[in-house]
């Protein structure tokens, strides 16, 4: 007897006239806004300037979307290039299918380009973004709920997910809501990173590394519950092996970074010319004469110039008077 369950939406897209509004795309977009908003607040708190996070995100987000899609298509190529499949579907990102591993990897490349253009260190920017990124993942996982995908094994738990679609080999029934498990895990990881960052003053990329390591732990056990098709290596799903490798790399980075570069960056973003506290001379910016001398000084200079311009006329009159006196003296 079905006592309780999480219902699945009857469809993942609504049509506003000819415009399709897809739940999966909305989740991705909302997640990006949350990541940029929170990252901006954390960046400013670290001494950065407002707007820098968004400027770099313009590079990181497109690269991340491309990387996430590439990872998914490469690791699940049979969904798009096997017999009876249409390879054009590989470009339909709105139908689902983003691999977080590829998104982070290629997104980091885009972020590196943006950071280079602004002259700021990538690790510091990544530390500011870390909680926002994992919160964005938590929101993005609800896109899988809209698409009725990436669920786990069958279960009769009261929070089971009810799948109603039978397309692409799905079998209607009650399953573990792995999208919900991962979403909640990501929220927990986000708060963990925020707490650890405040408690230990993490810097030089260690907050981001902590996020990666903690996420991999959750992804490893959640991956075991999933029943969707996946490649296996030595009896384990490919994503399990990826989680192990990435976890080890993140932990090694944490340890080595703490030893080689303890503490946190004192300056995360250099001031642009003319943005110092002084009159601009100290940081190479132009000096504002009005601010340096004040309005009264400028007016005084103008009056002095007028006086100097008038001086030659007075001198000429004086010379004429002297000449007249000399002539009078001769006559007398």
Segment 126-149 shows an average pLDDT of 95
Cβ-in-10-Å burial (0-12, 13-18, 19+) of 162 comes to middle
pLDDT at 275 over 70: no
Cβ-in-10-Å burial (0-12, 13-18, 19+) of 189 comes to buried
For the chain, the average pLDDT equals 83
What global pTM score does this model have? 0.79
Q: What is the pLDDT of residue 2?
A: 55
pLDDT at 227 over 60: yes
pLDDT at 292 over 80: no
Q: For 164-209, how does the pLDDT look when each residue is reduced to its tens digit (9 = 90+)?
A: 988 877 899 999 999 999 999 999 999 999 999 999 999 999 999 9
Banded model confidence at residue 146, pLDDT cuts 50, 70, 90: very high
Banded model confidence at residue 109, pLDDT cuts 50, 70, 90: very high
Higher pLDDT, 16 or 327: 16
Q: For 200-215, how does the pLDDT look when each residue is reduced to its tens digit (9 = 90+)?
A: 999 999 999 999 999 9
Q: For 111-127, how does the pLDDT look when each residue is reduced to its tens digit (9 = 90+)?
A: 999 999 999 999 999 99
How many Å apart are CA 285 and CA 268, to the nearest integer?
20
Q: Would the CA dihedral through 45, 51, 52, 57 be positive or negative? A: positive
pLDDT at 43 over 70: yes
Q: Which residues contact 57 (CB under 8 A, 6 or more apart)?
A: 32, 35, 36, 39, 114
């Amino acid at each position: 007897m079905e006592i309780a369950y999480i219902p699945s939406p009857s469809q993942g897209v609504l049509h506003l006239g000819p415009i399709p509004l897809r739940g999966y795309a909305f989740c991705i977009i909302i997640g990006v806004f949350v990541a940029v908003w929170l990252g901006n607040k954390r960046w400013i708190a670290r001494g950065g300037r407002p707007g820098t996070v968004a400027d770099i995100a313009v590079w990181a987000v497109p690269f991340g979307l491309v990387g996430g899609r590439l990872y998914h298509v490469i690791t699940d190529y049979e969904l798009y290039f096997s017999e009876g499949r249409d390879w054009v579907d590989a470009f339909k990102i709105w139908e689902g299918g983003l691999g977080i591993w590829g998104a982070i990897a290629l997104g980091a490349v885009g972020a590196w380009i943006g950071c280079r253009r602004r002259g700021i260190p990538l690790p510091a920017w990544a530390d500011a973004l870390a909680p926002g990124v994992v919160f964005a993942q938590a929101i993005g996982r609800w896109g899988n709920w809209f698409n009725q995908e990436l669920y786990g094994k069958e279960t009769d738990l009261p929070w089971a997910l009810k799948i109603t679609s039978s397309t692409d080999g799905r079998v209607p029934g009650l399953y573990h809501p792995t999208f919900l498990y991962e979403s909640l895990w990501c929220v927990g990881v986000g708060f963990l990173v925020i707490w650890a960052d405040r408690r230990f003053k993490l810097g030089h990329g260690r907050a981001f590394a902590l996020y990666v390591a903690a996420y991999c732990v959750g992804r490893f056990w959640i991956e075991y519950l999933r029943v969707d098709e996946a490649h296996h290596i030595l009896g384990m799903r490919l994503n399990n092996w990826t989680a192990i490798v990435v976890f080890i790399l993140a932990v090694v980075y944490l340890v080595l970074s703490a030893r080689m570069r303890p503490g946190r960056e004192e300056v995360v973003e250099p001031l642009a010319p003319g943005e110092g506290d002084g009159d601009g001379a100290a940081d190479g910016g132009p000096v504002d004469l009005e601010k340096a001398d004040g309005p009264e000084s400028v007016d005084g200079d103008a009056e002095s110039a007028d006086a100097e311009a008038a001086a030659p006329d007075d001198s000429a009159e004086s010379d004429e008077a002297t000449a007249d006196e000399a002539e009078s003296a001769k006559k007398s």
